[in-house]
Copies of this chain bind each other. A is one copy, B any other.
Amino acid sequence: MTLNIALLGFGTVAQGVPFLLNENKEKIEQAIGTNVEISKILVLESSKERLEKQFDHNFVTKIEDVVDDTEIDIVIELIGRIEPAKTYITKALKSGKHVVTANKDLLATHGQELISIAQANNVSLYYEAAVAGGIPILRTLANSLNSDKITKVLGIVNGTSNFMMTKMVDEGWSYEEALKTAQELGFAESDPTNDVDGIDAAYKMVILSQFAFGMNINVDQVSKTGIRNISPEDVEMAAKLGYVIKLVGSIEEVESGLFAQVSPVFIPKGHALASVNNEMNAVYVESIGIGESMYYGPGAGQRPTATSVVADIINIGKEIQVEIPAHPFNQFKRETVLANPDDIKSKYYFALEVPDKNGQILKLSEIYNDTEISFAQVFQQGSNGSTARVVIITHEMTQKQLHEVTEKIENVPEFKLLNSFKVLGA
């Protein structure tokens, strides 16, 4: 018996699938117990002729050619975005086909609906490649860390922004220079919003919350701050204090519930995440059993993403061979409860512009003191004669205190709050 698969789409990642199936043919057959054939590839009518000249595959142009074909066992969706991917996946599941996808946007926004359709039709829906492309983090959470209780997940899960931050930290580039180079290298799109404003990372936090905490939050419940406003002065001060700045997605469970956020974070140089550089990704996990663990690898790219897709194919293939009932990729489910902002604590970095005259730090101290926030360190970083840059590192404070102190500072006309970032570490 052959395992027949169909690809929807034949872009960069999809072309990596036949490469891996061919290179690792023997190993994959050994794992599944049968061979894998790509029986059809769905492409646009406009590309079909060109692709047929270039590749020896059976290209089709109608989704019915795939979903109505009873020989096909698994459909691999690699079109991306919401539509027509959602409709195609739905049709495939309803035709009793298992589905593998790398589509993070779709999973983060319509995942629960698709998972229900898969369950109703007794088929599997796997999506390892949707979070941190080449890092097998979802299967690890589902099949290995299922014995543990996770308390915090920190992820560097957007390669574009991490590439930019690495250049800003290591090379002293400005945000604009870093973005320009990322665009030239093809990492960043002409509209980089999803990457630099933390939206892409927030999608991944939604999926990670399901696997790590059994809770189902939506992307609007992930607090998002991007990297646009990080200045060379912030980077310089971070370095001076022994930190690197990176865009970090975090999910933590406190007594009152779950809190998910994407924001620039000051990471101590000795922390495992601090040396995750350029376009590499990493997911760092704190848990009561293992303690701390980290999973590091490329977050995108043809072969890494295809490797995760093929791992899903193998796992479904094995399950078909031994005839076990289909089950959700993630089996951990609890009631979703969001945290009270009073319970979310962190140290913070504040950068402010204040008039360059006596008494300003006293005035600032009064504001922070009124909000019961205590300083760990205060620096005057520079002055242009009329205004000075003041940097504060606080002791632990709550989200609620952060909002309060921000509002108070904004009410003082001569103070300008330039940035406030979380600082990792006790």
Q: Is A333 an interface residue (CB 8 A)?
A: yes
Q: Is A304 an interface residue (CB 8 A)?
A: yes
CB <8 Å contact, B147 and A314: yes
Within 8 A of B (CB), among A176-233: 214
CA distance A28 to B143 in the complex (A): 11
Q: Is A45 an interface residue (CB 8 A)?
A: no
Q: How far is the CB of A335 from chain B (nearest CB, A)?
A: 11
Q: Is A392 an interface residue (CB 8 A)?
A: no
Q: Is A164 an interface residue (CB 8 A)?
A: no
Q: Is A23 an interface residue (CB 8 A)?
A: yes
| A148, closest chain B residue (CB) | B307
Q: How far is the CB of A356 from chain B (nearest CB, A)?
A: 40
Provide the residues of chain B in CB contact with A309, threshold 8 Å.
147
Provide the residues of chain B in CB contact with A270, threshold 8 Å.
275, 277
Provide the residues of chain B in CB contact with A314, threshold 8 Å.
146-147
CB <8 Å contact, B274 and A291: no
Q: Is A58 an interface residue (CB 8 A)?
A: no
Q: Is A30 an interface residue (CB 8 A)?
A: yes
Given A148-B24, A333-B30, does the pair A294, B297 have CB atoms closer than 8 Å?
yes
Most buried by B among A289, A291, A322, A331: A289
Most buried by B among A301, A311, A322: A311
CB <8 Å contact, A146 and B289: no
Given A293-B296, A304-B290, does the pair A313, B28 have CB atoms closer than 8 Å?
no
Provide the residues of chain B in CB contact with A331, threshold 8 Å.
30-31
Q: How far is the CB of A289 from chain B (nearest CB, A)?
A: 3
CB <8 Å contact, A147 and B310: yes
Q: Produce 1/0 per residue, A280-293, CB < 8 A to B.
A: 00000001111111
Could you jot down 15 A-B contacts, CB within 8 Å? A16-B289, A20-B148, A24-B149, A24-B289, A26-B334, A134-B293, A144-B311, A270-B277, A272-B276, A289-B306, A291-B298, A291-B303, A295-B295, A296-B296, A322-B325
Q: Is A388 an interface residue (CB 8 A)?
A: no
From B294, B303, B315, A296 is in contact (CB under 8 Å) with B294
CB <8 Å contact, B28 and A146: yes
CB <8 Å contact, A297 and B292: yes
Q: Is A145 an interface residue (CB 8 A)?
A: yes
CB <8 Å contact, A143 and B315: yes
Given A291-B297, A322-B324, does the pair A307, B147 have CB atoms closer than 8 Å?
yes
| A142, closest chain B residue (CB) | B31
Q: Produce 1/0 per residue, A108-150, CB < 8 A to B.
A: 0000000000000000000010000011100110011111110
Provide the residues of chain B in CB contact with A214, threshold 8 Å.
27
Q: Is A332 an interface residue (CB 8 A)?
A: yes
Provide the residues of chain B in CB contact with A297, threshold 8 Å.
290-294
8 residue pairs, one from A and one from B, having the closest CB atoms: A136-B144, A289-B307, A293-B297, A147-B310, A294-B296, A134-B290, A147-B311, A322-B324
CA distance A313 to B24 in the complex (A): 30
Provide the residues of chain B in CB contact with A147, threshold 8 Å.
20, 24, 28, 307-311, 313-314
